Amino acid sequence: MRIKGVNLGNWLVLEKWMNPALFYGTDAQDEYDLPRQLSKEVYEARIMIHRSEYICERDFVTIKSMGMNTVRIPVPFFVFGDVEPYIGCVNELDKAFNWAERYGLKILIDLHTVPGGQNGFDNGGISGVCKWSRSSENLEFSLHVLERLAQRYGSREGLFGIQPVNEPILDYMWDGMGVQNRYKPRDPEMAEGSGGISRDLLRWFYTEAYHRIRQYMNEDKAVVLHDAFDLMSWKDFMREPEYKNVWLDTHQYLMTAESMGCEQTVPGYLRFIADNYYWQIEEMEHYFPVVCGEWCLFNSLVVGRDTKGGQSVLNGLENTSVESVSDEEKRDIYSVIAAAQLAAWNKGHGYFFWSYKLMIDTVNTNGWVGWDAWDFGRCSDLGWFPSQK
């Protein structure tokens, strides 16, 4: 099976930049602080309306009609509703399975946040904090959530697989990327002791997660491992026949390519895709089915200036509110880049676009020019994307 998929990002795991209204009137930057800055009643009201409106049956119809066959659903560690002050979301996940099965889609459940944080990103649940791997209690909590997810959904027709943890960050990258500069911790004391995850620990966690999940989930469903931003380093890991149906997930954004020196021109992007994604995926396909679990069309060329790895508007760097690229040029740029990326993902086992839907408003708010390229719906409706039907 080759995956054509979208992420249902920001539905059950919040990201402020994808929907600022949820954070209105607070200075919370992440899902950790939000319920701590709102009254219980207001937090509940916002979350309840958000969950019921952001994604509903209608979206599964649309996603299917766009030619997709799978959705990746990020879920938080408090999915089962057992962690104060958060509100569980297993009912929403139940509904999603019913919708998926009604309309012929599969679901990859992605444990997107874990207690203590696995990367220090806002989307890891708590900005600037990365202490998950230092606590056996947190590790065990996460494994237990995975077990319960497998138990509840393991034999559902609509299940494609389970991903044990999203974007765990290795120690060399934690240091190299300067995570806490980009995602400043709100409470420096709480952030103390943060740091990247050791390769050994992550390998242990993946192996343990595999066994816990496989207790309840048949081998026709996949266990999907994120590559921890180091795609080529997993060649010797968890091979057949001992481990069955293990997939490797790699996230490849052009803004990261830009940070690595990719020239911000169409030939520059094409060269980068050809010289990196294409052959790396091809090589890793000898070991695992490889899926590009997150990517999009966003790039600095269309924004009109260097976004410094996608930081501009998010981190208050200077940004633009004037379109410097015409609608026609946009379509030309995006469609050629999209075709090249798709060709790379199709050397592997397909892709999940990040993300199906974003609420950003490029017209009424300053500085968001070009950021609609993160939105699969808009990319598709604006003709930036070759039809996947």
Task: List residues near a second copy by CB under 8 A.
Answer: 19, 21-22, 24, 39, 41-42, 45-46, 48-50, 52-54, 56-58, 61-62, 64-65, 94-95, 98-99, 102, 357-364, 372, 375, 377-378, 381-383
Q: Least distance from C-beta 249 to a second copy, angstroms?
A: 26
Q: CB nearer to a second copy: give 24 or 286.
A: 24
Q: CB nearer to a second copy: give 177 or 358.
A: 358
Please name which of 336, 339, 341, 332 lies closest in space to residue 273, comparing C-alpha atoms.
341
Q: CB nearer to a second copy: give 17 or 229.
A: 17
Give the number of C-alpha atoms closer than 13 A to the C-alpha of residue 121, restricted to the C-beta side: 20
Q: Rounded CA gap, 208 and 145, in Å?
A: 13
Count of Cβ atoms closer than 10 Å to residue 62 Cβ: 16
Question: What stretches of the chain adopt beta strand conformation (E)?
Answer: 3-7, 70-75, 106-111, 159-163, 222-226, 246-251, 290-294, 350-353
- The pair of structure tokens assigned to 136 is 């056996």
Q: Are 36 and 28 in contact (CB under 8 A)?
A: yes
Q: Least distance from C-beta 92 to a second copy, angstroms?
A: 10
Q: Least distance from C-beta 4 to a second copy, angstroms?
A: 16
Q: Least distance from C-beta 345 to a second copy, angstroms?
A: 24
Q: Rounded CA gap, 239 and 248, in Å?
A: 11
- The pair of structure tokens assigned to 274 is 């050809």
Q: Least distance from C-beta 99 to a second copy, angstroms?
A: 6
Torsion of CA 88, 245, 160, 122, to 10 degrees: 40
Q: CB nearer to a second copy: give 197 or 338.
A: 338
Q: Is there a cis peptide before residue 241, judged by omega within 30 degrees of 0? A: yes
Q: Rounded CA gap, 372 and 283, in Å?
A: 32
- Please give the DSSP secondary-structure letter assigned to residue 169: -
Q: Least distance from C-beta 103 to a second copy, angstroms?
A: 9
Count of Cβ atoms closer than 10 Å to residue 370 Cβ: 26
Please report the sign of the dihedral spanned by the C-alpha atoms of residue 374, residue 74, residue 281, residue 176: positive
